Amino acid sequence: MKKKVLLMGKSGSGKTSMRSIIFANYIARDTRRLGATIDVEHSHVRFLGNLVLNLWDCGGQEAFMENYFASQRDNIFRNVEVLIYVFDVESRELEKDMHYYQTCLEAILQNSPEAKVFCLIHKMDLIEEDQREMVSPIVIKIFLTYFHSQIFREREADLIKLSKPMECKCFKTSIWDETLYKAWSAIVYKLIPNVQELEKHLQHFTEIIDADEVLLFERATFLVICHCERKPHRDVHRFEKVSNIIKQFKLSCSKLAAQFQSMEVRNSSFAAYIDIFTPNTYVMVVMSDSSIREFHFLSKHGAEIMIIISFLASAATLINIKNARKHFEKLEGVKTQNPPTAFAPR
Amino acid sequence: MLKPKTLTNVLSQANTGGVQCTLLLNREGTLLAYSGYGDKDARMTAAIASSIWLSYEKYGSVAFNEDNLKSYIVECEACCVSNGIFKLLLSQEGNVIVIKVSNVLLCMHANKSVPLGTLKAKITTLANYLEGPLTQVATT
């Protein structure tokens, strides 16, 4: 199944950078090497096996933009599933940005009215740097958090107003932290066709194994595509943080020519397992304190308290993950009978 | 699927009348589940139990004309044997019985006061109960 994703925005706003980080395993620092995109760069990204994202990375220089809206209008804006419009938060020409955005929306509305629109307010980290000379870091932090959300909220309100009658969803992003993963997770979530079914089965799996939380990551991008939580957790940004950390780790593994396969993290209160799941996904299972303490009161010789400690060791959880694998593979429609051959038939 | 609560509940039911702990381990000696009074060296016990099992199975099949090993009982004394690993196991006085369930091992450690026949009956009952469900799960 092919889905066309348009990536647009002003020149230098960071479209190619974020695409490279999410889909081409770049680290944030490497994006400095990227030059300006000329015209449209097409890339096909296989996502979850049978879903292919057809990414159209449209160069943002004015000459190209005018071209998209005039002579290439049909070609570009036809059959679009998702439009991702990137704004540079530092841009001095807000009016012009908004003008282009609206023109773009008009074209979308004409050619593919069903498309979903996402706005990414990018380079949020840059605002921080401008204010660095100020006094105490704590004051800065409080101030910035307020300032950030203030700026973001203003922009968001503007954009939602401007986007009418289409609906748009806004995210603040930066390539230097996990916000980028949050935004893209939300975007791909909308693209996966059977996500509800996947969620239902994941919920079931979580209940059977008594896990606190189970996350499903797409294998190449490490974006969270599905999650199930049984015990509330205070950190709402944990998914993106995990994505970010594990992806970095995976990349450093590949530098040593070793493939990342699984990981187990354990402390006194929980154990977390990350393991390859289906050919397209990784799974993360979080189990709270493995020892379930039961108190047995035996009153044979007066009041006697016995403490029974019972726990399921990590090997058992790995068996559970292994057993669930087959089920989820079937759900994804993976064909194991005929693996892809190295030699294409002529 | 191994349901943590259910499995450990079943195991803990055997911990009465002198039985100290019950554990489930795979043939490589990795602990799968444990239930008992205090978790002293559960992983160590599992490793030793499976190691004894494997060596008996290996040499026993030659010596006993390929009869398969079903279970074994080890009587442990409170004394310390100078052998590094065994010292730990033997310092707990009592009897240890190990039986095969599906493709994993079930191990039970009991006081000296528990007669061997009772211990055997107990573990056989538990093993019979777990046989069916564990065969379904069996993948390792």
Residue-range domains of chain B with CATH: 4-132 (3.30.450.30)
pLDDT in tens, B47-58: 888 998 888 888
**Could you state, in order of their start, the residue ranges of all structural domains in chain A?**
2-190, 195-332
- Please state, in angstroms and rounded to a whole number, the distance separating the CA atoms of residues A254 and A179: 24
Q: Residue A142: pLDDT above 60?
A: yes
According to the model, what pLDDT value does residue A136 have? 55
Q: Residue A233: pLDDT above 90?
A: no
According to the model, what pLDDT value does residue A274 have? 92
- Interface contact A307-B38, CB threshold 8 A: yes
Q: Nearest CB to A309: which of B4, B36, B140?
A: B36
Convert chain A into a string of H (helix), E (strand) and C (coil).
Answer: CEEEEEEEECCCCCHHHHHHHHHCCCCHHHHHHCCCCCCEEEEEEEECCCEEEEEEEECCCHHHHHHHHCCCHHHHHCCEEEEEEEEECCCCCHHHHHHHHHHHHHHHHHHCCCCEEEEEEECHHHHHHHCCCCCCHHHHHHHHHHHHHHHHHHHHHHHHHHHCCCCEEEEECCCCCCHHHHHHHHHHHHHCCCHHHHHHHHHHHHHHCCCCEEEEEECCCCCEEEEEECCCCCCCCHHHHHHHHHHHHHHHHHHCCCCCCEEEEECCCEEEEEEECCCCEEEEEEEECCEEEEEEEECCCCCEEEEEEEEECHHHHHHHHHHHHHHHHHHHCCCCCCCCCCCCCC
Nearest CA in chain A to B35: A310
Size of the A and B interface in Cβ pairs below 8 Å: 77
List chain B residues with CB under 8 Å of A294. Answer: 12
Nearest CA in chain A to B4: A312
According to the model, what pLDDT value does residue A305 have? 55
List chain B residues with CB under 8 Å of A292. Answer: 4-5, 8
Give the residue-averaged pLDDT of B84-107: 73
Q: Residue A139: pLDDT above 80?
A: no
Q: What percent of chain A has pLDDT over 90?
A: 6
According to the model, what pLDDT value does residue B81 have? 43
Greater confidence, A89 or A132? A89
- Interface contact B39-A309, CB threshold 8 A: yes
Across A17-21, A191-195, A213-217, the highest mean pLDDT is recorded for: A213-217
List chain B residues with CB under 8 Å of A324. Answer: 1
According to the model, what pLDDT value does residue B38 have? 67
- Interface contact A309-B33, CB threshold 8 A: no
- Please state, in angstroms and rounded to a whole number, the distance separating the CA atoms of residues A322 and A320: 5
Give the residue-averaged pLDDT of B86-107: 76
Mean pLDDT, chain A, integer = 79
Distance from CA of B30 to the nearest CA of A (A): 7
- Interface contact B3-A292, CB threshold 8 A: no
- Interface contact B1-A313, CB threshold 8 A: no
pLDDT in tens, A24-58: 878 777 888 888 888 888 888 887 777 888 888 88
Q: Residue A343: pLDDT above 50?
A: no
Within its chain, how far is the Cα of A323 from the centroid?
A: 26
Distance from CA of A203 to the nearest CA of B (A): 14
Q: Residue A156: pLDDT above 80?
A: no
Q: CA-based angle A211:A214:A219, to the nearest 5?
A: 145
- Interface contact A309-B32, CB threshold 8 A: no
List chain B residues with CB under 8 Å of A313. Answer: 30-34, 43
Instruction: Label residue A128 by pLDDT band (50, 70, 90).
Output: low
| Topology given in CATH for the domain delimited by A195-332 | Beta-Lactamase (3.30.450)
- φ, ψ at A67 (rounded to 5°): -60, -45
Q: How many CA atoms lie within 13 A of A239 on its CB side?
A: 24
Across A81-85, A331-335, A337-341, the highest mean pLDDT is recorded for: A81-85
Give the residue-averaged pLDDT of A108-125: 83
pLDDT in tens, A275-306: 999 888 899 999 886 555 545 455 555 454 55
| Topology given in CATH for the domain delimited by A2-190 | Rossmann fold (3.40.50)
Question: ipTM greater than 0.90, yes or no?
Answer: no
